[in-house]
Every structure is written in C-alpha cells, then in structure tokens.
Amino acid sequence: MSDTITRVGRVEIAQREQTPAPTRQEVVFDIRNLTVRYGRTTAIRDVSFEIYRNLVTAVIGPSGCGKSTFIRSLNRMNDLVPTAKVEGEVVYQGKNLYDRDVDPVEVRRWIGMVFQKPNPFPKSIYDNVAWGPRVLGMRAGMEERVQRALEQAALWDEVKGRLKRNALSLSGGQQQRLCIARALAVEPNVLLLDEPASALDPIATSAIEDLIHQLKRSYTIVILTHNMQQAARVADRTCFFSLSEEDAEGERSGILVEYDETQKIFTQPSDPRTEGYVTGRFG
C-alpha cells in the first residue's frame, strides 16, 4: 500500500519535471557519430544522440554492448586506456570534449563519475569528501561544503557524529553514497553513474534511486544499469545499446538501437530489438 503511494508520488515527480515540451530541454551532450576503438576492436560505432539538462538518462543493454565504454567517453575516462581511440564528437555545452585544446583533467572536474563498486579513499569520511575540493583549490567554507555534499547524498544524518572515522568502516550502501557525496563536493554539472547500485542490496539500492530523483533537480544524470526495472524507475529518457550484426570481417560492435522517453522504450518500443530486450526475450 505505502509502496504504491511512493510509486505514484515518484511518477508525479518525474512527470512534473519531465516537462515534455522539447523547447525547454537544453542539450548538455550532443553526441555525434561517436566511435570508440580499443586497438583493433570497435567497442561502439557511430553513436549519435542528445542528452538533456536536469533529466536522468539511462543507458541499458546486454553485456559487452559498449555501455561502459560509452559512459566513460563522456568524461574522457577512456583516455586512461592506452589503446583507446575516439572518433566523432561529444559536444558538451557547445564544445567538443575531444578538441585538441581540451584538458581531460578539466573535463572530469565538471563531469563527475560514480563507479560500479564503491571506492572510497582509505581516509576519513570527512577527508573523502573534502579532498577533491581541497585539491581543486575550493578551500573556503570547507566544513559547510562537506556537510552540504553529505546531505545531498542523504548520508549526513548517518555519519555526522563520526566524520573522523575511516570511510572503510561504512557499509557498502553508505560507501556508495559517500562516493556520490565526494563527486558532488566539487560541484560538477553532470553526474555519470556506472551501475551505481549493482554491488548493493535492495534497500541500499532503493536509497540510491531515491537519491537520483532528488539529484536531478540540480544535476544532469546519466546512469548505466543492467537492471531494467531500475531504468524504468529512475530515468526520464532511456537509450538502448546492443551489438550490431556481424560485419564483413565477422566483427560485432556496440551500437545505439533506440533512444526515447523511458515510458516509450518500455511500453511501445519502435525497434523489435529493443522490444526483445525489455520484454526479456533476449540479452
């Protein structure tokens, strides 16, 4: 009963903020013909679509379809893989992230990322959050900044009495919220979530999902997930990645199959491959 109410509440929030009028949707990422290769294998080929401000965009698809590669090309984490080669453009707020004069370190400062497995630093809870801003020279009002970030991540009430404790003493779900707080503390514009709940139990997962609903008011969020129910619960728009048919050399690569409002993807997908995936017949 209470579950239904929450769900209805959530849907209302989603609908209120979705504001379907496309004129109000400001483009944050304009992805144009993005192809990423590792050595000789093509991870994703020719992906083009737009990601909008203050929406949650989910990336779904079977394993090995290049989801992770895609989300990591949005903040140039792929640069850390020596063999990775990127073609095409990721235009972020009017400028291609892969332009020569763009520093990937600066890119990641504005486009934060939370990873699949909670990875807090082996430092205190406070220092986990404060370290990023400190390094980036945002020293003023540090205590308030740390508190604000922890509040945004819905962790403050649980840790306010033990900020000096080692972050590794927290539970898995708390650690992941700490990682979200850490990412928020440097005030990014975009938050990329790489399967943020896949290592967590259902209760912790639900806490993270609630959090995502809160955060989209202030941030643009891209979330990668294996869990279709999760995509349906949190995302305004969903893109479905899959593997292409074998090409002339027998190679398959990740492609974007369909991108639309989440509701449409899950109820009336226009591509039969999407339908096969969301109904569980494939993948």
Partner 1 sequence: MSAAASWGRPSPRLRRRKAVNLLMEALATVAALVAVALLGTVIVSVLRRGLPAISLDFFTKAPAGFGAPGGGLANAFAGSLVIVAVAALIALPVGVLTALYLSEFAPKRLEETIRLALDVLNGIPSIVIGIFVFGILVLSHQQSGLAGSFALAIIMLPLIARSTQEVLRVVPETLREASYALGVSRWRTVVGIILPASIGGIMTGTMLAVARAAGETAPLLFTSSLTAPFVTWDPRQPLQSVPLTIFELSESPDPLDHARAWAAALALISFVLLASLLSRAMLARSRRKLGQVG
Q: Which residue has 């504001």 as its token pair?
A: 19
How far from the centroid of its chain's Cα atoms is residue 257's Cα?
19
Q: Which is nearer to partner 1, 32 or 108 (CB)?
A: 108
Q: How far is the CB of 2 from partner 1 (least distance, A)?
A: 36
Q: How far is the CB of 55 from partner 1 (least distance, A)?
A: 21
Q: Which residue has 């294998």 as its token pair?
A: 41
**Contact status: 106 vs partner 1 (CB under 8 A):** yes
For partner 1, the binding residues in 126-145 under the rule CB under 8 A are 131-132, 135-136
Do 185 and 146 contact (CB within 8 A), yes or no?
A: yes
With contacts defined by CB under 8 A, name the span among 6-14, 149-157, 181-189, 229-237 that binds partner 1: 181-189
Q: How far is the CB of 231 from partner 1 (least distance, A)?
A: 22
Query: If binding means CB under 8 A, how many residues of this protein chain bind partner 1?
Result: 29
Q: Are strands 84-92 and 27-38 parallel, antiparallel or unpaired?
A: antiparallel
What tokens were used for 208? 């993270």
Q: Which residue has 């020596």 as its token pair?
A: 82
**Contact status: 48 vs partner 1 (CB under 8 A):** no
**Contact status: 182 vs partner 1 (CB under 8 A):** yes
Q: How far is the CB of 73 from partner 1 (least distance, A)?
A: 13
With contacts defined by CB under 8 A, name the span among 17-25, 115-123, 225-233, 236-244 that binds partner 1: 115-123
Beta bridge partners of 6: none
What tokens were used for 138? 């945002």
How far from the centroid of its chain's Cα atoms is residue 197's Cα?
11
Q: How far is the CB of 220 from partner 1 (least distance, A)?
A: 16
| DSSP letter for each residue of 183-235 | HHHT--SEEEEESTTTTS-HHHHHHHHHHHHHHTTTSEEEEE-S-HHHHHHH-
**Contact status: 122 vs partner 1 (CB under 8 A):** yes
With contacts defined by CB under 8 A, name the span among 63-71, 121-129, 143-151, 209-217 that binds partner 1: 121-129
Local structure of residue 99 (DSSP, 8 states): S
**Contact status: 121 vs partner 1 (CB under 8 A):** yes
Q: How far is the CB of 173 from partner 1 (least distance, A)?
A: 16
H or E element that contains 42: strand 41-52
Distance CA 74, CA 194 (A): 12
**Contact status: 123 vs partner 1 (CB under 8 A):** yes
The site for partner 1 (CB under 8 A) is made up of: 75, 77, 80, 82, 105-110, 112-115, 117, 119-123, 131-132, 135-136, 168, 179, 182-183, 186
